[in-house]
Amino acid sequence: MLDGFKKFILRGNVVDMAVGVVIGAAFASVVSGLTKAFLNPLIKLVAGGAEKFSTLQFTIHGTAFPVDDFINASISFVLIAAVVYFLVVLPVNALVARMNRGEKPPDPSTKKCPECLSEIPIDARRCAHCTQPVLGRAA
């Protein structure tokens, strides 16, 4: 019973869903706070002061597009993605690789035709694409 549960939890789509929802939501506020408290002041220094960064925008036909909010959101996204990748995805991939170590890969069910190189069933004696006779199980 626990073995089936372990296989279910370590399936790629379940882990990806958990990563996207739980970990992403948990780190979003922390990264937003880090961006606003530490990285924004650094960007403001580079931009030449707080007034210049907060008014950093471009205008098209009288409509202002503020760039500072986009920069903050981009930095937050990159930081969240890095944390999730290095703290969740890499360890889960290592765990799955460790669990699958020693398992023999399944026997192939197809082979390549020696004439046209198309995939044909392993037990075929003639290629369905070019009608070339094929001998043996491996081409």
Provide the residue ranges of all domains of the chain, joining segments of one domain with +.
2-99, 108-139
Pairwise CA distance, residues 74 & 129, whole Å:
51
Pairwise CA distance, residues 134 & 124, whole Å:
7
Superfamily of domain 2-99: Large-conductance mechanosensitive channel, MscL; domain 1 (1.10.1200.120)
pLDDT of residue 108: 85
Q: What are phi and psi of 47, to 5 degrees?
A: -75, -10
pLDDT of residue 138: 47
Using DSSP, state whether 115 is helix, strand or coil. Answer: coil
Pairwise CA distance, residues 84 & 90, whole Å:
9
Q: What is the pTM of this model?
A: 0.48
Q: What is the pLDDT along the chain (139 residues), one digit of tens a residue?
A: 678 777 776 766 776 777 777 766 777 777 778 777 887 777 777 766 656 666 677 888 888 887 777 777 787 788 878 887 898 889 988 988 888 887 777 888 889 888 888 898 888 888 888 888 887 654 4
Q: How many CA atoms lie within 13 A of 43 on its CB side?
A: 20
